[in-house]
Structures are given as structure tokens and as C-alpha cells.
A and B are shown apart, each in its own frame.
Chain A
Amino acid sequence: MQPDRRQLLQSLIAAAAAGAVITPDRALAGAAPADWTVGVADVEGDIAPQAMRRIGGRAPVDFGGSLYRNGPAKFRRGTSAAGHWFDGDGMMRRFAVNDGAATLTARFADTPKRRLETSLNRIVIPGFGTAQGEGARMNNNDDANSANTSVMMLGGELLALWEGGSAVRMDPDDLATIGFKTFRRDLKHMPFSAHPRVEPDGTVWNFGGGGSNAGLWRIAADGTLRDWTNIKLPRRSYFHDFSMTARHIIIVLQPWLQEAFAFPLSTAMKWRPEQGTQIMVIDKDDLTRQRIYELPAFAAFHYGDGWEESDGTIRFDGCLEADPTFGQTAASALLRGEHIRSPQPTLTQIVLHPGGNASMLSTGIAAEFPVSDRRLAGYRRRLTTHVTGYRDTPFPHAIAAWDWQRGRDDRYDFGSHQLVEEFQYVPGRSADEREGWLIGTTLNMTANATELHLLRADAVARGPVASWRANVALPIAFHGTFVGA
């Protein structure tokens, strides 16, 4: 074969492969086992309530409730595509378990962004890694709101969360979009991040904004706004999550710094490891009382709840990466079907000593999407549930619970044909966190279907006690919450 002809064929095959990656019906065809790109495939419309088929085990009769999960599920329109995994339209999924049976409902958040892009059949609204396209119309930050990152139940309202704008109210039963949440008129459109932290009594703390300012929200369990306070930050760090103890707010200012005003946002952020990581600790009772700790540079998206000891030592965990390659480039490449290897996120305990020094204790365990027992939020606990088992795909294949007391990871690997998503912790009958449940989802590439699994928190390695399968494959979502029956 002549070289130029071979090149032509190769480029045609490459083009065909690229086409396959971005063709949503491939994800739904089911003829052949899907590859990991099913995890970032498009969903064309809402999923009407459907019964899930029980494929193994049996749920305890007294286990009931709804697992809500949110994540991007529409990335491509016409010949255009989002430039980053974080920028797809949010789709809320509800997995309801009742009397041993499970049902799935999923609906897109009906946002101005989604409406405009549907009418244009083009991705035009800029985002974390997406450039602005022709026809974009934004008159406030909520016009760019994709409502795609997390979900919480607050004061009886189901809220789809993003980080650059308002929460979006949705009907907890049928997931219909109600509209943007405004906690107080003068705070309309103020960013309400996707990582609120909730005290055991239901009090919610959240941040919003960034750059040199972060707004700190404090909301009562019934959804009433207590106060909103602007906090001046010492650097323009990008942060997606924060940590909290019973007495303190902890904001980790990684040296991934916003150095320009530009779209896409990720291109305006530069990695400056020589500047190290700063950790800002704020007294909940007096927000003007602030301390800064210094650590060597690391990047991270997610942290766990923290606690403090009697001598004032603060401990909290995070999934730390050597640098932000994942957020900068790898998460964009996913949408093109490319797997760029990025530093492993590693479950690490950060210790802030009363003398002003800070240190890090790495477990060496690959971990993301940390979750723990919310009854213990702000207090010493044993377990951090996390996804793990990163191998040949960009997505993890296992779920695990790390025991801080025993220094041991209790883990179940679903196999290389399964992509594992965040699991939620659900309390059991007693106050012992080990007696709880883990409930979460996987994307089965062989069956080309999303599955729901229930495991015992104290026996993760034994695998699911009950599993159900949907008749649809939904792309990988980010975060969820469990609301008991």
C-alpha cells in the first residue's frame, strides 16, 4: 500500500472512530460491549420512570429511600461539543428503593443554557473548559448554569447544584425543574457551590465565588438563610470543595491560580507549585478569626468532613493529586474519547497542628469521591467511603471504605467491565457507623446498562447484598445524596 493511501485510510479510520465516540446511539445500541466512552455519552431526553430488574441479592425489607444523583449527560449538539466533562447539561437521576424493588427516573435540569443550546442545536455557553460560541446570550452567571454537579435536599426542596451560580429547584418526585433558588433577594445569582457541608443538626454551610472573595452561606435545617458573609481570600485559588469541623471552616487554597479573566475558565488558571498550598481556617463563631497554614503544593477537587482534637489539632481528609492535569486537560480529552493519564488522586489526611505547622499522612490508596457518615460530620469518625481501582480507563472500577482506626481499605472490585460512581453512606439501625449501608451506581459496559448496588459498610469486600439493573446506560454522574424513606 502506498504511504499516502495508508495515511488517508488511517485518517479516515481515525475520523470514523472519533465519530463513533460522539454518536450517542452507539451508547444505546447494545450490540457489542461498550467501551469507557459510554461514560461520557449523550442522553437525548428525559428517562421516564422505569422499574429496574433485580439481578442479585435482596435488599433488607426495612431499607428504603431515594438515591438522587446529578451529572452531565449532554455534551454535543450538531457539529459542536463541550470542551470539558464538567460542562455538560445536568441530568438528575432518582433511584428509588422500596420493598426490595428499585425504580429509575432521570430528567435534565431545564436551564436557560439548555434551552438556548437546544434552540440553536449548538454548544455556545462557555464554561469550565468550553469556549463561548456564536449565539451565546448571558446576562447573568445563571445563564451559564448547567446545574450538573451535585444535589441536596434542603428544607423539603430538592436542589441541583453547580458552583458558579444558583441552586436549581426540582420536584423531588418527578424531577421537574421549578426554577433558580434565591435565598434572599439581594443574594440572587450569588454562587452556591456544589459542596455544601451539613452539621449533624442539619445546619448547612456552603461557599460560593472565589478569586479573591468567597461568600460563606449559613442556612438552617429548614432552609432559612441565617447569614451570608464575604470572606477575603489571600490568593485567587480555584477550589471546588471545602472541609469543616464542629468549630471551623477549612478552605484549601491550592496553587492552581486564576491569573486572568477569560473563557474557558480553566485556561485562565495556572499551576504554580512553587507557591505551595495554603490552608485557611476560619472560626465559625467569629468569621474574622482566621489562620493560614502552609503545605507543599498539591491539587485536589474533594475533601472529607474534618474534626478537631482536645489540644486543637485539626484532621481532615482529601483526595490529593500531584498536579491538576485531570482538571486542566484529561477531563477535556475524555469527551474526545482520549484517556490522558493524570496523577493518581490519593486519600490523604491533612493534620493542622496547634503550633501552626501542618503535615500530611498519605494512605497510598487511590481514592476519589470521599463520603462519610453525616451523623458524625465535624466529629471523629472511622470510615471514608471512596471509589478506587483505577486501571486502564479514566474511571474507577472499585468501591471501598477506608478505616482510619485500623489503617485498612475494605474494597470490592466490580471488574474491568464496570465503571464505578460515587456511593452514599446510609446509616443503619444503630449509631455505629460500621453498621450502615453504601448505596451507589455503576455503569456496566458489558450489559450496557446502569446498575444500582447496596453494600454493607462493614463488609464491602463481600460485594453487593442487592443489585438492580436499568434498561438504559446513563453517563457517569458526579455527586449524590440519599434521602431515607
Chain B
Amino acid sequence: MNILTRLIAATMLSLPAMTAGALAQDPAPSSRLTVTFDKIAEPTGQIMFVVFDSEEAFDRGGKPVRAIVVPVDAASETTIIEGLPAGRYGIKAFHDIDSDGKMSSNPYGMPTEPFAFSNNAVGNMGPAKWADAAFDVRGAVTHSIAF
């Protein structure tokens, strides 16, 4: 059953390397997205997440429109994203428990830090798909993601 481990690892979710930093800021701020992360098992480290605005970017490794880091010191954390143009978005997130800026994995490449997607979408041997993870942002929107 050892193949199983490697089979899954080989096709396992590849969150893009994420760094906190400025990405393209939209010139016409129009929405306010409040993202709440729940069921955080260990109140330490940080949550790193990226926001995508297209299926192409979300499903095929394109660039996110935002990359955000939220410090964690409770079982639930909230952050507010201003200035997203109205539209459909998808989020990929992981809890960087050891704050090393990377999604840690075990020696066979299996992720060891919790990850989650918008709509609490779940993938199978890979990240969730845009079709399941995309949600609308128009005006003031609150979106909850559980780890």
C-alpha cells in the first residue's frame, strides 16, 4: 500500500509558492470581502492564502490577484480584503503552523499542514477545482473557510 502514498503525493495539491507581498492592486475598489478561517486546530503560526479571479489561474497554476498572510493566535481568524472588483473568486489557503512560509510535507511529499479552499471545496488527489471553489463577490461579502 506504499504506492498509495507516493501516488497521492505525486498528484497532490501544489499550492503555488506564496509570499506576502504586493500583487496587482485593482484601480477601482468596489467590494469588501471578509474571510473567516475556522476550526484552526493549533492557535499558532500563520495562514497563507491566495485569491484567484479565474478558472484558468485557479486550476492551472496561474497568478493569484492577492496573496495574504494572517497571523494565527486563536481557533478562528478573520481578515478583510478591500478593493476587489465585483466578480467570481476562489481561495486556496494553508495553515503555516511553523511559520516557515512553506507548506510543509513529510519525507514522502505528503502535506503535513492543514489546507482548505473557498466554499470548503474538497479535491481528490489534488486541489479543489474552480467549479467547486468559486464564489461571488459583490459589495460587502463574508466568506468562511474551515480547516
Which chain A residues lie closer than 8 Å to B123 at the CB level? 137, 139
Say yes or no: A215-B124 contact (C-beta < 8 A), given A261-B3, A265-B3: no
Which A residue's beta carbon lies closest to that of B97? Answer: A185
Q: Please, which residue of chain B has its CB at the minimum distance from the CB of A210?
A: B2
By beta carbon, the residue of chain A nearest B111 is A140
Tell yes or no: B17 within 8 A of A by CB: no
- B27 adjacent to chain A (CB < 8 Å): no
Q: Does A136 contact B (CB under 8 A)?
A: yes
Q: Is A137 a contact of B124 with CB atoms below 8 Å?
A: yes
Query: Does A188 count as interface, using CB distance less than 8 angstroms?
Result: yes
Q: Lowest 7 CB-CB distances: which A-B pairs, in order? A: A164-B1, A210-B2, A188-B112, A141-B5, A209-B2, A189-B110, A164-B4
Bound: A205/B1 CA distance, A: 19
Is the C-beta of B33 less than 8 angstroms from some C-beta in chain A?
Answer: no
- A191 in the interface (beta carbon within 8 A): yes
A261 to B1, CA, bound (A): 11
B residues less than 8 Å from A190 (CB atoms): 5, 106-108, 110
Chain B residue nearest to A269 in the complex (CB): B3
Q: How far is the CB of A364 from chain B (nearest CB, A)?
A: 32
9-residue interface stretch from B6-14, B18-26, B60-68, B81-89: B6-14
Which of B108, B111, B124, B125 has the most CB atoms of chain A within a 10 A radius of its CB? Answer: B108
With A128-B1, A185-B112 given, name 13 new contacts (CB 8 A): A137-B124, A139-B111, A141-B1, A165-B4, A188-B106, A189-B106, A189-B110, A190-B5, A190-B108, A190-B110, A228-B107, A261-B6, A265-B1
Q: Does B15 contact A (CB under 8 A)?
A: no
The residues of A with any CB-CB pair to B shorter than 8 Å are 126-128, 136-141, 144, 162-165, 185-191, 208-211, 213-215, 228, 230, 258, 261-263, 265, 268
User: Which A residues are CB-close (under 8 A) to B108?
Assistant: 190-191, 209, 213
Say yes or no: A139-B13 contact (C-beta < 8 A), given A128-B1, A144-B4, A164-B5.
yes
Which listed residue, A137, A215, A265, touches B107 by the CB 8 Å rule?
A215
Question: In the assembled complex, which residues on chain A have CB atoms less than 8 Å from the CB atom of B111?
Answer: 139-140
Residues from chain B with Cβ under 8 Å of A126 in the complex: 4
B104 at interface (Cβ–Cβ under 8 A)?
A: yes
Contact of B122 among A139, A144, A165 (CB under 8 A): A139
Per the CB 8 Å criterion, the residue count for chain B at the interface is: 25
Q: How far is the CA of A128 from the CA of B2 in the complex (A)?
A: 10
Which residue from chain B places its CB closest to the CB of A228 in the assembled complex?
B107
Given contacts A136-B124, A138-B125, A140-B111, contact A186 B106 (CB under 8 A): yes
A265 to B2, CA, bound (A): 9
B8 contact from A141, A228, A262, Cβ within 8 A: A141
CB distance from A103 to the nearest CB of B (A): 33
**B residues near A265, Cβ cutoff 8 Å:** 1, 3-4
Q: Is the CB of B110 within 8 A of A141?
A: yes
- The chain B residue with its CB closest to the CB of A162 is B1
Q: Once the chains bind, are B112 and A186 in contact (CB under 8 Å)?
A: yes
Q: Which residue of B lies closest to A87 (CB)?
A: B1
Please determine whether B112 and A211 come into contact, CB atoms closer than 8 angstroms.
no
Q: Could you give, for residues 102-132 of chain B, a 1 whenever the CB lies within 8 Å of some chain A CB and a 0 otherwise?
A: 0010111011100100000011110000000
Min CB distance, A448 to chain B, in Å? 33
Q: B108 to chain A: closest CB distance in Å?
A: 6
Docked CA distance A214–B107 (Å): 11
12 contacts between A and B (CB under 8 A): A126-B4, A127-B4, A128-B1, A140-B111, A162-B1, A164-B1, A190-B107, A211-B3, A214-B2, A258-B3, A261-B6, A268-B3
Closest to A239 in B: B2
> Which residues of A sit under 8 angstroms from B5, Cβ to Cβ?
141, 164-165, 189-191, 209
B2 neighbours in A (Cβ, 8 Å): 163-164, 191, 208-211, 214, 258
**CA A214 to CA B108, docked complex, whole Å:** 10
Nearest opposing residue in chain A for B98, CB measure:
A185
Q: Which residue of A lies closest to B106 (CB)?
A: A190
Complexed CA–CA distance, A258 and B6 (Å): 12
Q: Do A191 and B6 form a contact, CB below 8 Å, given A137-B122, A140-B110, A186-B106?
A: no
By the criterion CB–CB under 8 Å, are B106 and A139 in contact? no
Residues of A within 8 A of B7 (CB): 261-263
Q: How far is the CB of A140 from chain B (nearest CB, A)?
A: 5
Contacts of A261 in B (CB 8 A): 3, 6-7, 10
Q: Which residues of A contact B110 (CB under 8 A)?
A: 140-141, 188-190
Residues in A whose Cβ lies below 8 Å from that of B1: 127-128, 141, 144, 162-165, 191, 210, 265
CB of B93, distance to nearest CB on chain A (Å): 14
Write out the residue numbers on chain B whose beta carbons fall within 8 Å of the beta carbon of A187.
106-107
Shortest distance from the beta carbon of A162 to any chain B beta carbon, whole Å: 7
Whole-angstrom distance between the Cβ of A22 and the nearest chain B Cβ: 24
Within the assembled complex, what's the spacing in Å between the Cα atoms of A128 and B123? 22
Tell me which of B4, B7, B122 has the highest count of chain A C-beta atoms within 10 A of its own C-beta.
B4
Which residue in chain A gives the minimum CB-CB distance to B13?
A139
Complex Cα–Cα for A190 and B104 (A): 13
Please state if B8 and A138 are interface contacts (CB–CB under 8 Å): yes
A185 to B6, CA, bound (A): 19
- Which of B8, B98, B104, B107 is the one whose CB lies under 8 Å from A140? B8
Which residues in B have their C-beta under 8 angstroms from that of A185? 97-98, 104, 112
Return A195 CB to nearest CB of chain B, in Å: 13
Closest CB of chain B to A73's CB: distance in Å? 19
Smallest CB separation, B102 vs chain A (Å): 12
| Of listed B6, B7, B10, B122, residue having the most chain A CB within 10 A | B7
A144 to B115, CA, bound (A): 18
Chain A: minimal CB distance from B109 (Å): 10
